[in-house]
Amino acid sequence: MTRLLLVIGVTVLLGGLFLFGLLRGQPDRNIESARLDRSVPAFELPLYPRYQGAYGPTLDLADSLGTEPLIVNFWASWCGPCYQEAPDLQEAWRRHGERVLFVGVQTQDRGKRAEGRSFIDRFDLGFPNVIDDDSAISIDYGLFGVPETFFVRRDGTLMYKHTGPVDLELLEDKIAELTAS
Amino acid sequence: MTGLGLGPLGGAALLLALAFAAWGLIGGALGAIRRDARLLASARQAAVATFLAMTAAIAVMEIALLTDDFSVSYVAETSRIGSPLWVKVVTLWAALEGSLLLWGWLLSGYWALLASVAPNTPLRPWALAVMAGVQTFFVAVPALMAPPFQVVSPVPMDGPGPNPLLQNHWMMAVHPVLMYLGFVGLTVPFAYAMAALITRLPGSEWMAQTRRWTLIGWGFLTAAIIAGGWWSYEVLGWGGYWAWDPVENVSFMPWLTATAFIHSVQVQERRRMLKAWNLLLITLTFSLTLLGTFLTRSGVISSVHAFGDGPVGPAFLAFFLLVMAVSLGLVAWRWDQVRDRADLDHPVSREGSFLAGNVLFLAMTFAVLLGTLFPLIVEAVSGDKVTVGAPFFDQASLPLWMGVLFLMGVGPLLPWRRAPDQSLRVNLAWMSGAALAAAAVALALGMRGVYPLLTIALAAWNLASLTLLILGAVVPRVRVGTRSVAQVLRAYAFENRRRFGSMIVHFGVVVVALGILGSSGYRVDEQIRVDFGGSAEFQGFELTAVDRFMDQDENRISAGAIVDVTRNGRPIATLRPRINAFAGQQMTVPTPSVLYTPWYDIYLNLGSAVGPEQDFVVLRAVRSPLILWIWIGGAIMALGTAYALTPVRRTVPATRRATREESART
């Protein structure tokens, strides 16, 4: 009898544990950036001509870093998912560009000015896009591939990094989080 | 599509299989209770019918995959028109629903085979009924809970194709099938164990009936785990093969208990001991395969391996708990019959070493189970999120492995029952000498650290033991007869398949142990930036980034670097680490390129994407000594198992047959 009770006890205990696991929902599987909650590196890079009227020939991130929330998006003209996410980035910028600085960085795409320009024109991207010709910035940011998007708090620390294409829903969520703090 | 589509056809085949399996269970159990031969025969036919229906379902799915019939939900979700033929074939097990279908099919094959070939013993009816019960579950899940044959409307033009990590290496065609064959094979001894408990015949009969099946299951599981490690090495890009990830652990735990089981059954066969222990071990083994499936398919435990979730998780949990409760409950209920009455005569004996080995394997299972479940336990108790990393598993299992290697050398030399005699002392002296000599040589060559030196010493200890075992078998036979050493050895290997097979497997274990020692203890892992046209030094090699390259076919785009590996200006190899992007999938797959040599591998992976105009490449370079021997050792283990399984032909030489007939006449 004791043995039967032991069996029942073990079964119930294990069952309870796993039931808890099931009900708790999915654990977070996103691998976090090592830069999370740390300051992101500043950079100064040449701008595409269409933005030079508003920002000058180069964009110096140091001017904005630590004063306003930032979204830094890395892309390349040869990257398929970048084309997929670009309209959503443009729409998010149209809605929130006043409060959050959006910066596009063309990276791992040396010399592809014409392709970069046609990428920008295709989606009529209103936020400034810079050229990271020797891909130095992508190394500073620990980029694995494109696209990747970095959400930087007002104090210059990284709140969240997204690997792969972003969509409008995610952008809205993260922007709400960025501007709330 | 007009008329009857493949979807409804496959679904109907599955429902038919479910009905047959359920009849196998109900008819089989009723027949066993009433001892009704007609019902039992009908239940046996149900096994074959289930297998045929499952085969039809598999055939329908393969036809749908190969003809790109996207009206079938599984095809629409996981296949793609442009995929190569072999990818389409193996897409059957590239996602949850299809892999459960495959599992159910393989199980039905084992069940049908068992129903056809199992000798007519009192155990057979219940064993087949238990198989039917397990089969019913494994058909019900794909038939009712994770249906792969749903009709999709409107029919998509094309699908996304299977997960890129799975398309990226041919090993994916092999590893899952081996794993399921292993899991399914271990269902047979479990079914017989349950039958033994139900019929109150917990003697050695059920083991004699299932010895072969157990070895088959164990052999496949061993091959599957090694193949999984190789896949991970070739695909995941960090230059390792084992990360103590939950999904690896859950395949490792049943292997540990099954390994304990195939050793401890011999104690029961010889000494009528450890009855309850063996029943518990096989129950544990089978339950752990279910637990593993539950943990990896439900997302309960965080793992790098993302499987789909859904109603399958709770179903596996319920089945796991049912199996646990019923089988352990049966053991408890029949405790008076399974209790051991014999005692260990001498701790230093064959059975003593088996028992000690069992304790080590069980301790390891417990450590791995604890480490795997610990994050969940902590979260349930305190709400904190913790992770248990490789250091815990390494520290917990390494000393136990040393113990296993020690026993593996000494155990086969020990006699049954008796206290050891003089010849053992001589043998141990030889083995200790070999171990010390090996450790001394390693020390002189600059190896440091307790575990590396101990592993080397124990490898030598085991090689000496294997040599002594073979000498002990061959030398007396050579002395008495006129045959040459080679003839005697061949005859010995032929006549003692199980024993000789086990020696081959143990040799394979030593080879794997050395491979693990080299590749984990002496691995060098560096990130190197190389400009195209330039070169960098890595571990005595020059890595020259010659050029970037881009390959493109209908299904895949590869972009990477061509890297020449030279040593002192002498060319060694050209490696092409790359990043593969598969059509239909967003995820890109960094694909390493490996130079295999017996002494070390040079493993290059891209640290970042190589853009078309980028003038440098970031390489992750890994040098792993002896890693090749893990795969070779694994193959040796599988071959040894296969050798032990080859049937002994009872051909008796003519002269001996004549004398035997004479003696029979007198």
- Cβ of A108 within 8 Å of Cβ of B335? The answer is no
Q: How far apart are CA B617 and CA A105, in angstroms?
A: 19
Least confident of A148-157, B145-154, B323-332, B652-661: B652-661
Q: Between these two residues, B631 and B387, which has the higher pLDDT value?
A: B631
DSSP bridge partners of A157: A39
Least confident of A107-121, B48-62, B118-132, B187-201: A107-121
Sign, CA dihedral B238-B242-B243-B249, equals positive
pLDDT digits (tens, 9 = 90+) for B444-470: 998 888 899 999 999 999 999 999 999
Burial (CB count <10 Å: 0-12, 13-18, 19+), residue B59: middle
Residues of A in contact with B321 (CB under 8 A): 11, 14-15
Least confident of A142-151, B545-554, B650-659: B650-659
When pLDDT is averaged across residues A117-137 and rounded to a whole number, the result is: 88
Smallest CA–CA separation between B609 and chain A, in Å? 6
Q: Judge whether B385 and B307 are in contact, CB under 8 Å.
A: no
Q: How far apart are CA A70 and CA A65, in angstroms?
A: 8
Q: Between these two residues, B366 and A5, which has the higher pLDDT value?
A: B366
Q: How far apart are CA A94 and CA A171, in angstroms?
A: 12
pLDDT digits (tens, 9 = 90+) for A35-51: 788 888 889 999 998 99
pLDDT digits (tens, 9 = 90+) for B402-427: 999 999 999 888 888 876 677 888 89
pLDDT digits (tens, 9 = 90+) for B238-264: 778 888 888 889 999 999 999 999 999
pLDDT digits (tens, 9 = 90+) for B506-550: 999 999 999 999 988 888 888 788 888 888 888 888 999 888 888
List the end-to-end C-alpha distance of chain A, in Å, as a whole number: 60
- Cβ of B611 within 8 Å of Cβ of A20? The answer is no
pLDDT at B3 over 60: no
Q: How far apart are CA B179 and CA B217, in angstroms?
A: 9
Banded pLDDT at B303 (limits 50, 70, 90): low
Q: What's the pLDDT at B309?
A: 56
Q: Chain B residue closest to A145 (CA)? A: B609
Interface ipTM: 0.72
Q: How far apart are CA B605 and CA B126, in angstroms?
A: 53
Banded pLDDT at B308 (limits 50, 70, 90): low
Using CB atoms, pick whichever of B380, B586, B611 lies closest to residue A110.
Answer: B611
Q: Judge whether B563 and B575 are in contact, CB under 8 Å.
A: yes
Banded pLDDT at A139 (limits 50, 70, 90): confident
Least confident of A6-20, A165-179, B302-316, B649-663: B649-663
Helix (H) or strand (E) holding B579: strand B578-582
pLDDT at A10 over 90: no
C-alpha dihedral (A154, A158, A161, A166), degrees to nearest 10: 10
In three-state secondary structure terms, B619 is strand
pLDDT digits (tens, 9 = 90+) for A68-99: 999 999 998 877 678 888 999 999 999 999 89
Q: Which residue has the tokens 């960090």?
A: B238
Q: Which residue has the tokens 């093969």?
A: B241
Q: Chain B residue closest to A111 (CA)? A: B613
In three-state secondary structure terms, B266 is helix
Q: Which residue has the tokens 């203890």?
A: B521
Q: What's the pLDDT at A33?
A: 64
Q: Between these two residues, B514 and A29, which has the higher pLDDT value?
A: B514
Going by C-beta distance under 8 Å and a sequence separation of 6 or more, which residues neighbour residue B274? B264, B267, B268, B340, B355
pLDDT at B661 over 70: no
- Cβ of B301 within 8 Å of Cβ of A27? The answer is yes
Q: Which residue has the tokens 């960085």?
A: A105
Q: What's the pLDDT at B159?
A: 82
Q: Between these two residues, B472 and B49, which has the higher pLDDT value?
A: B49
Q: Which of B69, B584, B74 is nearest to B308 (CA)?
A: B74
Q: What's the pLDDT at B59?
A: 96
Q: Is B383 left (phi over 0), alpha (psi -120 to 50) or beta?
A: left
When pLDDT is averaged across residues B338-349 and rounded to a whole number, the result is: 76
Banded pLDDT at B663 (limits 50, 70, 90): very low
Q: How far apart are CA B420 and CA B132, in angstroms?
A: 46
The token pair at B72 is: 């079938």
Q: Between these two residues, B260 and B391, which has the higher pLDDT value?
A: B260
Q: Cβ of A164: how many Cβ atoms within 10 Å?
A: 16
Compute the radius of gyration of chain A from its Cα atoms. 22
List the end-to-end C-alpha distance of chain B, in Å, as a whole number: 78
Banded pLDDT at B1 (limits 50, 70, 90): very low
Going by C-beta distance under 8 Å and a sequence separation of 6 or more, which residues neighbour residue B431? B409, B410, B461, B464, B465, B468
pLDDT at B655 over 60: no
Going by C-beta distance under 8 Å and a sequence separation of 6 or more, which residues neighbour residue B231? B169, B171, B172, B175
pLDDT at B601 over 80: yes
Q: Chain A residue closest to B312 (CA)? A: A22
Q: How far apart are CA B412 and CA B417, in angstroms?
A: 13
Q: How far apart are CA B126 and CA B531, in angstroms?
A: 69
Using CB atoms, pick whichever of A6, A22, A112 lies closest to residue B300.
Answer: A22
Q: What's the pLDDT at B650?
A: 54
Q: What's the pLDDT at B304?
A: 54
Q: What's the pLDDT at A28?
A: 47
Residues of A in contact with B618 (CB under 8 A): 139
Task: Enumerate chain A positions whose Cβ falls within 8 A of a Cβ in B.
Answer: 3-4, 6-8, 10-11, 14-15, 17-22, 24, 26-29, 76, 78, 80-81, 107-112, 134-135, 138-139, 143-146, 164-165
Q: Between these two residues, B237 and B596, which has the higher pLDDT value?
A: B596
Smallest CA–CA separation between A145 and chain B, in Å? 6
Q: Cβ of B534: how many Cβ atoms within 10 Å?
A: 12
Q: What's the pLDDT at B39?
A: 94
Q: Which of B371, B360, B405, B210 is nearest to B303 (CA)?
A: B371
Banded pLDDT at B649 (limits 50, 70, 90): low
Residues of A in contact with B373 (CB under 8 A): 17
Banded pLDDT at B199 (limits 50, 70, 90): very high
**Count of CB contacts below 8 A, A vs B?**
97
Using CB atoms, pick whichever of B373, B581, B608 lies closest to residue A143.
Answer: B608
Banded pLDDT at B664 (limits 50, 70, 90): very low
Q: Cβ of B498: how many Cβ atoms within 10 Å?
A: 14
Helix (H) or strand (E) holding A162: strand A158-163
